[in-house]
Structure 1
Amino acid sequence: MVMTARALNRSTLARQLLLERAPIGVGDAVRQVVALQAQQPGSPYVALWNRVAGFDPAELDKAVADFEVVRSTLMRLTLHLVHAGDYRAFREGMEPTLRGSRLHDPRFKAAGFTAEDADGLLPGLLTYAREARTGAQLRAHLAAARGGPVEAVVWRMIRQYAPLWHAPTGPPWSFGTAQSFVTAEAPLPGLGDQEASAAGLAVLLRRYLEGFGPASLADMAQFTTAPRGKVREAVRLLEDGLEQWEGPGGTVLHDVPGAPRPDEDVPAPPRLMAMWDSVLLAYADRGRVIPPEYRGQVIRVNGDTLPTVLVDGYVAGVWRPVGEGVEVSAFRPLSARVWAELAAEAAALDGFLAARDRRVYGRYDHWWVKGLPAAETRVLPGA
C-alpha cells in the first residue's frame, strides 16, 4: 500500500479536523487531535477555533476548570493540553525522557541536586499540591523539606518532571503569567516503572497515529522525543494492530486500521493556524505541512513557531493580529479567490479574539519587525 506526499497531507488534515470544522464538544475535540501545544496560553483556543464548528471559548474555560482537559509538561518537553483520560498513559510513556532530561540535566547537578534527592522530595511535594499551590509556595515547600535554598533552575526541573497539572489562574486564556499547580489525579503515573513506561509509550504512539498518522518511526520519535529504540520497541508491541504503508522515497509508515485517509484531491480550505500548532511540529518530515523553502520563516532560530496561513493544506504565509484586523504575509502570490476566503476567516478570527485579547500574539511582533520575505502583505479587516 503506497501513499503519496499529498495523500499524507490530507490524512493529517482530516484527523486534525482541518478539512472542515466538526460539530464536536471540546473534550472530544482534544481527544480527537491528541494534544494541543499550550506553552502560549491563547494557542489552544485558536487551535480549537480552527477545528470546532461554533467553538465557544467558555467551553474550554470550563473543561480546564473541571480538569476534563489538563495542561502539563509532556511530549517534546513542552506544555501540552490533553484529555485527562489520556494523561496517565502519556505521562508514563514520557517518563524516561522527562526523567533523563530534567533530573539528569547538568544544571540540576551543578545546583547540588541528584535524581535521588528529587525522588525523596517528590512524595511530600505531591501531597502538599493536592490542592492548588502557587509556584512560590511549592518552591518554599521544597526548601523547607530540603533544609536549604532551592535554586530557580532546580524548581523548574522538578516541576517539569513531577506529575503536576497547571491549575487555571484566570482570563483571558485560563493560564496567565502567574502559575499555579495541582497534583495529577490518582492513580498517579508509575514514576520510574519501566514496564509501565513501555506500555504507556505504546498507548501514546497508537493515539499519535490516530491523530497524525500514517507516520514513520522517525515521526513518532520527533513527536515524543523518546529515543528511537524505545519507539521501535513500542511499535513492536502494537504491530499486530497496525498497518504498514509505503510513503515517499520508500519510507515505511505505520497506521491504525480504518483511520481516515481521504483522497489527495479533497479540497482543503484556508486556515489561520495557532502559534506552535501541533501539525507543524508533529513530524520529522515537516514537509507534510510546511514546504521546505518556508520552514526557516515559520520556525524561528529560538524555536518560536509563528502563526501560519494554510492554503490548500500547506503553509503559504504567516499572520498576526494588528489594530485594524489581521495582517497576512503570503510567501507566494495567492489568487483573488484565496484572498477572499482568507478575509472571511480573518473577520471571524478577529471577532473571536476581540472578546478575549485581540493582540494575543503581540509579544512576538519583533519577528515581523526584523522582516519576513513576503510576496504580498495585506491587512484583512476585522469583524
Structure 2
Amino acid sequence: MTVLDTRALNRATLARQLLLERADTPVLDAVAHLGGLQAQEPQEPFFGLWSRLRAFDPAELSEHLLRRRVVRTHLMRRTVHLVTADDALVWRARHDTMLRQRVLGVYRGELEGTDLDELAAAGRAVMADGEPRSLTQLARALAERWPQPGPRALGEMLMAVVPMVQLPPRGLWRTKAGVRNVPLSAWLEREVAPLSPDGSDPVGQALLRRYLAAFGPAASADLRAWCGLAGLPAAVAALRGELITFRDERGRELLDLPDAPRPDPETPAPVRFLPAFDNAILGFQDRTRIIDDAHRGLSVAGARVVLVDGRVAATWTVEADTVTVVPLRRFSRAERVAVTEEGQALAAFLSGNTSDRVRISAAGPPQ
C-alpha cells in the first residue's frame, strides 16, 4: 500500500481546503464544499473565506445568512458551524445522539431524571410563538417544570434536543449581536430530514464522501475528530469498494476518493492567514500534516495562524487596521516578504485602505 508522507498529505489538504490556490467558487458552493466553517467567533468565517476565494465579497456571505441560504447552528463536535441550509436539514438528525451525549458528558448530574423527549416537546411549545430567545430566556421559561438543573444545563440540553439556528444580525459582517435562537425548521420553513427507517446510513455515507472531498486522504479517526460521530464504521464499510487507500508514516490506513486532488508534494504553497478554529487544522485527529505537535494547542486556544510553506508558522492579530504577525520560527527573507505582502492584503480587506498606513509588525520568535 502506498505511503503518503506528511508533506504529501499537507499539499492534498491545502488543495482541497482551497488554500493552495484561491478559487473562483461562489460563496455558497465554497461553504458547502468545506462542509461548513466553524463559527463560534462570528467574524472568523469571513477571514476563512477571504483566504480561500478570489475577490471574496463579505457582503455576499451576509446576504446568504439574511436570505436563509446558510445558517449558524450547533452541529459537528457540538460547536457552532456556518453551514448551508440544505446541509443543516440533512445532517442534523445524524448528529442528534452525539449532541445529547456531549451535553450529558458535562451536565449529567444536573440533568439526571430529566425526560429529554418531554424537554424537547416543552421547548418547542415555548418557541411556537416564533419569538427569538436566548438560551437563558428559554431555560427560564422551562425552569418551573424542571427546577433542579441550572439554566445553563437546561439551555444547553434544549439546544441539543431541538435543532435551532442563531438568527442574524449575529454572524453578519462587521456586526456585533447577541445570540437569539429559533427552531431550525421554523426558520427555513422545512422539516429536518429524519434518519433512514431501514437502519441504513445514507447520511453517514454522504458525510464520509464530503469529508474526504474537503479533507482527505484521512483516517477514520480524523473523520471522527471532524464530525464528533463515532467514526461512521458502517458508512466506511459500505463505501470501501469505491474508495482507495493509503498509509501515512505512522502506518494508519487513509481513505480517499479516487479522483480527488493529490498534488505533487513539491508544489509551492502560498502564505495564508487562517481564522481562529479553522477546520483545516481542527478537522483531523492527527494534525501533524499542517501543524507541529509543539504548537498543537494554538488550534484549540482560538489563535489565528499563518501558514508558511503550508504549515503553521506564526500567529496573527489585528488592531486599528494593523495586522501583527508573531513568528513561531525564524523566517527567511523571502518568507518575511511573502508574509508581509499577504498581511498587507488582509489589512486592506479589513480596512478598505490600501495606503502606506497599513503596517505589518513581524517580531522574531522568543530567544
Give the aligned residue type for 2:292. Answer: P
User: Deviations 1:280-332 (Å, cap 9, x if unpaired)?
Assistant: 11111110110122223x24xxx323100100100011111133611111111
User: Deviations 1:356-378 (Å, cap 9, x if unpaired)?
Assistant: 9xxxxxxxxxxxxxxxx95279x
Specify the alignment match of 1:362 in structure 2: none
Specify the alignment match of 1:345 in structure 2: 342
Give unmatched runs, 5+ long, in structure 1: 357-372, 378-383
User: Deviations 1:129-156 (Å, cap 9, x if unpaired)?
Assistant: 4x64454554455457x38697232012
Give the aligned residue type for 2:227. Answer: T
Change (3 A) 1:199 1:121: farther
Query: What does 1:232-311 align with in structure 2 at a 5 Å threshold?
Result: 232-296=233-297, 298-299=298-299, 303-311=300-308
User: Deviations 1:235-272 (Å, cap 9, x if unpaired)?
Assistant: 11222332212222321111122111111111110011
Q: Secondary structure at the match of 1:51?
A: coil
Specify the alignment match of 1:173 in structure 2: 173
Partners of 2:40 and 2:79 within 8 A in 1? yes
Change (3 A) 1:85 1:249: same
User: Deviations 1:1-38 (Å, cap 9, x if unpaired)?
Assistant: 33222111111100110011111211011112112010
Q: TM-score, normalised by structure 2?
A: 0.86
Q: Secondary structure at the match of 2:250?
A: helix
Q: How far 1:197 sits from its partner (Å)?
A: 8.5
Change (3 A) 1:92 1:74: same
Partners of 1:113 and 1:154 within 8 A in 2? no
Return the alpha-carbon distance in structure 2 between the equivalents of residues 176 and 160 of structure 1.
Answer: 25
Structure 1 stretches of 4+ moved >4 Å:
131-137, 147-150, 193-197
Partners of 1:92 and 1:201 within 8 A in 2? no
Return the alpha-carbon distance in structure 2 between the equivalents of residues 151 and 134 of structure 1.
Answer: 11
Query: What does 1:109-148 align with in structure 2 at a 5 Å threshold?
Result: 109-110=110-111, 113-125=114-126, 127-129=128-130, 132-135=132-135, 138-143=138-143, 146=145
Specify the alignment match of 1:36 in structure 2: 37
Partners of 1:170 and 1:176 within 8 A in 2? yes
Give the aligned residue type for 1:245. Answer: F
Return the alpha-carbon distance in structure 1 between the equivalents of residues 66 and 22 of structure 2.
Answer: 24
User: Deviations 1:189-246 (Å, cap 9, x if unpaired)?
Assistant: 437x786794322222221111101100111111122224xx2222112223322122
Specify the alignment match of 1:319 in structure 2: 316
Give the aligned residue type for 1:375. Answer: P
> Percent of aligned pairs with the same residue?
35
Give the aligned residue type for 2:153. Answer: V
Corresponding position: 1:190 with 2:194: yes
Partners of 1:30 and 1:82 within 8 A in 2? yes
Change (3 A) 1:128 1:108: farther
Change (3 A) 1:251 1:104: closer
Partners of 1:333 and 1:376 within 8 A in 2? no
Q: How far 1:115 sits from its partner (Å)?
A: 2.0
Return the alpha-carbon distance in structure 2 between the equivalents of residues 294 and 54 of structure 1.
Answer: 31
Pairs aligned (count): 352
Specify the alignment match of 2:357 in structure 1: none
Query: What does 1:208-227 align with in structure 2 at a 5 Å threshold?
Result: 208-227=211-230
Specify the alignment match of 1:203 in structure 2: 206
Specify the alignment match of 1:329 in structure 2: 326
Q: How far 1:123 sits from its partner (Å)?
A: 4.1
Change (3 A) 1:174 1:158: farther
Of the structure 1 ranges 149-158 and 275-284, higher mean CA displacement relative to structure 2 is found in: 149-158
Change (3 A) 1:196 1:322: farther
Q: TM-score, normalised by structure 1?
A: 0.83
RMSD of the TM alignment (CA)? 2.8
